[in-house]
Structure 1
């Protein structure tokens, strides 16, 4: 069984670094409180670590 992560965007992207905005888009998050379910891989974990102040892991 694959491990999954449920991620929620909790903070606005206005005025933040373009690289952080790109990472959030890469995770598939668009609006505040949007939630995505992603596979738990090392690349996804790395992206989450970069923008940890934007997101909350729900699962």
Structure 2
């Protein structure tokens, strides 16, 4: 199991509920196709699950 996740914003959060927009921002994603590496833990996986329709996730 990898200890990092690569999260990429592939769909705009504009038009989504404010909770989803705040979650995307909390993940450190601000622009389309921006990728961030985050620790692979339960908190991050839960945030990614809530915005799964907006992001692409890979194990790094």
Q: Per the shorter chain, which TM-score range?
A: over 0.9
In the superposition, the TM-score normalised over structure 1's length comes to 0.92
| Secondary structure at the counterpart of residue 58 of structure 1 | strand
**Aligned position for 2:17:** 17
Q: Which runs of no fewer than 5 residues in structure 2 stay unpaired?
A: none
Question: Shift of residue 42 of structure 1?
Answer: 0.2
**Aligned position for 1:27:** 27
1:38-57 equivalences in 2 (<5 Å): 38-57=38-57
In the superposition, the TM-score normalised over structure 2's length comes to 0.91
Number of residue-to-residue matches in the alignment: 58
Q: Deviations over 1:5-41 (max 9, x none)?
A: 0010000111110000000000000011000000001
Q: Which runs of no fewer than 5 residues in structure 1 stay unpaired?
A: none
- State the superposition RMSD in angstroms: 1.1
